[in-house]
Amino acid sequence: MGRGATDLAYVCWQETTKRIDPGLVEELRALKNAVQSSRYQRLEELLKNQQWKEADKETYRLMITAVGKDEGQWFEREELLYFPCEELLSIDGLWVKYSEGRFGFSVQKELYLDCGGIADGQYHEKVWKGFCHAVGWMKENAYSNVIFDTSSPRGHLPVVVDLGEAVGGGWGFGERVVSSLASRLVDCSIR
């Protein structure tokens, strides 16, 4: 199944609101599992091959389509605060597995909270700067280039968006993504 078809199947699954004949429930569960598996196949392949930059882009694509948007669009705070737990668990699990615990949203959540962060989806400037220094996104109060390999600090990836673009965009993507996803990881009981 191609990426477009997989994404379409996923959107259709999300938008199904009518009652389902109980006889079809098991069949639909099997179909959902097949779509989910197919949906993450490319990300898993990229991570397995340590193609970190491409995996970061694929993570963004998976996440933006999970909230019903097209590639190139930005996340709203609420979309991240209510991001589907199953999706977040799958994406994070792949990052943690293939980076041997160095990368992933749950790793970032831990570091963000260690920096004094509050998982509330809000911008806390002092915490954000401390977190950026801890994961290597900032050096001497300036955003630094993302390093797409395992020599980067723990929690450095995924970034999901160009930090310079996010900061220049004025919508606080980076800090709100980390805080919002930290909040969602707590809500979803993901360590």
User: pLDDT over 70 for what percent of the chain?
Assistant: 77
pLDDT of residue 168: 40
pTM for the model stands at: 0.80
Q: Are 129 and 141 in contact, with CB atoms under 8 Å apart?
A: yes
Q: What is the pLDDT of residues 55-97, one digit of tens each?
A: 999 999 999 999 999 888 888 888 989 999 999 999 999 999 9
Mean pLDDT of the chain: 83
pLDDT at 171: 36
Is the predicted pLDDT of residue 170 greater than 60, yes or no? no
Which runs of consecutive H residues, i.e. helices, occur in the chain?
Answer: 3-15, 25-48, 52-66, 77-81, 85-98, 105-114, 125-135, 163-168, 173-187
Domain ranges of the chain: 3-187
Residue scoring higher pLDDT (49 or 71)? 49
Confidence of residue 133 (pLDDT cuts 50, 70, 90): very high
Q: Quick: pLDDT tens for 136-169.
A: 988 887 777 889 999 999 999 998 765 555 444 3
